[in-house]
């Protein structure tokens, strides 16, 4: 993080202090140094949090790392964690898969029939811009407070993200490649299978990657609005009971989940798109 | 018809000199931002079956337009384009078209790119046979060892050769080539010309070959069509009276070649200002 600071700093000595030749700056420039610095940062934060002198009232609102770790350990031991984590991941993944499947297939169709797409485009733009969480109460009325309403909310969120990207991807395909395959005698289906899908793949992946975050967020929001299990429910429940430690513990689980998902997706994408240079 | 008969006879082939491709007053104008751009003046041209015709002329003279018309990727603004006596109305699947820009699929490794025509339903080929033919082709165009490289990892000349292999592998009856060897160094170009001559003769292909390299045209072609600067029109048609098979490495030092080159150069020199490697 030293680079942006020194690049944007208007004062010359700031550049020297952050980007210059000091031993600290050189250490931060190596990957090992960077990771070490990150751990150091977290350690300082946790230690301050744990041992900073605080009154009883502050202790109640802020909890402490050891208490949070204790709660987490207890959740793992008695299975609470798996129940709620499982519930959240299930709703999220079911909605995500449904939204992706619909988004990709309809996106390809609309990409293939640009005239239909032009007719529908203002409606799609309208729905795309709409914050889907606003539909949550509606889904609860229509589908009940169970998983179905949450899955629907996640699916529709994911659908529009993936749809837009898929359409863009299909339109981005190199017309010359299609022509060359047509001359070789490829049928329409073969052109779709061997060219369009592949050309659109990086775009589809981009939509899917962005959609993971939205799917996760909206699952949690839906659980906060009304649920009896899930990570969102855990936060809501413990906050409701003024058990700040429990709320923090649930948030820690959330953060770990987000980081893990993003990392997995990035790796998958690099593997699949190896041909891009 | 007269020219064509001569060309066929001179090529000493047994096949009857029937017309394969015929352009009748075919012209093309493009609309570019409201104004009309005349790319090709009405052109009459006949290409016989198994004939090798080279189109030469300055850049932007409509050579590529002629290929696009024959491939059915463009409709003529006027006149007609006939293939086997039938009017070309859509993509012409009887031709293999090697465009100036290589259209390799960036997500497929080189070998898989070359294989693609054999995967299509219209000529589904057993895996083992396909692999064998791919290996043969890779060897032929000198890409052995680059089977698993993606197009982005190949040089411009290598991509051109991969595209050539991809077209040759399914042995189309007619080959349209738009400056296929422009990016190659002289040594490699000669090797490729040699292979191309062998293959097209052996497979009895009809070829229209666009180039601005006169040497290349004389080495390969039965006839050379000289096209003038834009708007393109046919300026002259030359028969190449060199016996086949030609030794591409030596033919350029023969007297016949030199004479041919001089005649063509006289024809072209007013038109060609730059942009040639003659």
What would the pLDDT profile of B97-125 be if each residue is shown by its tens digit? 998 888 999 999 999 999 999 999 998 89
Q: Which of A177, A184, A274 sits opposite B117 (nearest CB)?
A: A184
CA-derived radius of gyration, chain B: 18
Q: Which of A248-262, B130-144, B247-261, B263-277 has the lowest mean pLDDT?
A: B263-277
Pair of tokens at residue B204 = 């009895």
Cβ contact B120–A186 (<8 Å): yes
Averaged pLDDT, B36-50: 90
Which of A174, A177, A183 faces B97 most closely, judged by CB atoms?
A: A183
Nearest by CB to residue B123, choosing from A179, A181, A185, is A185
Assess whether pLDDT exceeds 90 at residue B183.
Answer: no
- Neighboring chain B residues of A184 at a CB cutoff of 8 Å: 93, 96, 116-117, 120, 170
Chain centre distance of CA B104: 18
- Scan residues 198-257 of A and list those with Cβ closer than 8 Å to B: 198-199, 201
Q: Cα dist. A1→A7, A10, A18, A37, A262 in Å?
A: 11, 17, 9, 11, 20
Contact list, B120 vs chain A (CB under 8 Å): 181, 184-187, 190
Q: In chain B, which residue ranges form alpha helices assigned H by DSSP?
A: 2-10, 63-71, 110-119, 127-140, 156-168, 186-202, 214-220, 255-268
Closest to B71 measured CA to CA, from A177, A191, A182, A188: A182
Residue linked to tokens 């009309």: B36
Under 8 Å between Cβ of A200 and A170: yes
Average the pLDDT over A52-80 and give the result: 83
Q: How many CB pairs under 8 A join A and B?
A: 63
What confidence score (pLDDT) does residue B15 get?
43
Q: How far is A171 from chain B (nearest CA, A)?
A: 16
Q: Which of A222-226, B26-30, B51-55 has the highest mean pLDDT?
A: B51-55
Please say whether the dihedral angle defined by the alpha carbons of residues A95, A100, A103 and A109, taken in this order, is positive or negative: negative
Measured CA distances, A106 to A54, A112, A164, A182, A256 (Å) = 57, 10, 10, 24, 33
Q: Does the pLDDT at position B67 exceed 90? A: yes
A181 contacts B153? CB cut-off 8 A: no
State the Cα–Cα distance between residues B80 and B125, nearest whole angstrom. Answer: 35
Q: Considering all CA atoms of chain B, what is the largest pairwise distance in Å, rounded to the nearest integer?
A: 54
Give mean pLDDT, residues A214-241.
89
ipTM for the whole complex? 0.83
Which residue is closest to B100 within chain A, CA to CA?
Answer: A176
Q: Do B150 and A274 touch (CB under 8 A)?
A: yes
* Min Cα separation B97/chain A (Å): 7
């Amino acid at each position: 993080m030293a680079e942006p600071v020194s690049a944007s700093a208007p004062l010359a000595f700031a550049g020297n202090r952050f980007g210059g030749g000091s031993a600290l700056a050189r250490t931060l420039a190596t990957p090992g140094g960077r990771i070490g610095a990150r751990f150091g940062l977290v350690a300082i934060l946790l230690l301050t949090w744990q041992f900073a002198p605080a009154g009883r009232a502050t202790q109640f609102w802020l909890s402490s790392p050891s208490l949070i770790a204790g709660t987490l350990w207890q959740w793992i031991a008695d299975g609470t964690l798996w129940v709620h984590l499982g519930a959240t991941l299930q709703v999220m993944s079911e909605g995500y898969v449904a939204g992706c499947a619909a988004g990709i297939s309809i996106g390809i169709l609309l990409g293939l029939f640009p005239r239909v797409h032009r007719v529908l485009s203002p409606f799609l733009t309208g729905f795309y811009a709409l914050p889907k969480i606003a539909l949550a109460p509606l889904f609860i009325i229509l589908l009940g407070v169970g998983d179905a309403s949450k899955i629907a909310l996640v699916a529709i969120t994911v659908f529009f993200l993936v749809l837009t990207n898929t359409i863009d991807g299909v339109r981005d395909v190199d017309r010359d490649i299609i022509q060359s395959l047509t001359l070789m005698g490829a049928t329409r289906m073969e052109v779709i299978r061997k060219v369009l899908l592949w050309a659109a793949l990086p775009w589809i992946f981009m939509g899917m990657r962005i959609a993971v975050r939205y799917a996760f967020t909206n699952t949690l929001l839906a659980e906060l609005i009304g649920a009896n299990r899930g990570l969102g429910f855990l936060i809501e429940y413990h906050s409701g009971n003024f058990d700040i430690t429990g709320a923090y513990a649930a948030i820690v689980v959330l953060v770990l989940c987000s980081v893990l998902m993003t990392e997995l997706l990035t790796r998958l994408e690099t593997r699949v798109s190896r041909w891009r240079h | 018809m007269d020219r064509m008969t001569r060309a066929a006879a001179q090529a000493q082939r047994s096949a009857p000199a029937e017309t394969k491709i015929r352009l009748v007053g075919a012209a093309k104008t493009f609309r570019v931002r409201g104004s009309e751009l005349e790319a090709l003046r009405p052109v009459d041209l006949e290409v016989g079956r198994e004939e090798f015709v080279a189109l030469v002329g300055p850049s932007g003279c409509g050579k590529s337009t002629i290929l696009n018309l024959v491939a059915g990727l463009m409709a003529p603004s006027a006149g007609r384009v006939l293939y086997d006596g039938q009017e070309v109305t859509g993509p012409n699947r009887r031709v293999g078209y090697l465009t100036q820009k290589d259209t390799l699929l960036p997500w497929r490794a080189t070998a898989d790119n070359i294989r693609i025509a054999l995967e299509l339903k219209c000529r589904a080929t057993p895996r083992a046979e396909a692999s064998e033919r791919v290996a043969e082709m890779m060897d032929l165009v000198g890409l052995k060892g680059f089977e698993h490289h993606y197009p982005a990892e190949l040089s411009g000349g290598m991509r051109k050769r991969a595209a050539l292999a991809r077209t040759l592998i399914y042995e189309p009856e007619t080959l349209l080539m738009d400056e296929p060897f422009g990016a190659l160094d002289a040594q490699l170009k000669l090797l490729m010309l040699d292979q191309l001559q062998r293959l097209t003769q052996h497979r009895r292909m009809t070829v229209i070959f666009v180039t601005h390299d006169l040497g290349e045209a004389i080495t390969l072609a039965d006839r050379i069509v000289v096209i003038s600067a834009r708007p393109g029109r046919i300026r002259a048609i030359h028969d190449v009276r060199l016996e086949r098979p030609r030794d591409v490495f030596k033919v350029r030092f023969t007297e016949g070649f030199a004479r041919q080159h001089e005649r063509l150069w006289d024809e072209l020199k007013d038109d060609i200002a730059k942009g040639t490697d003659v």
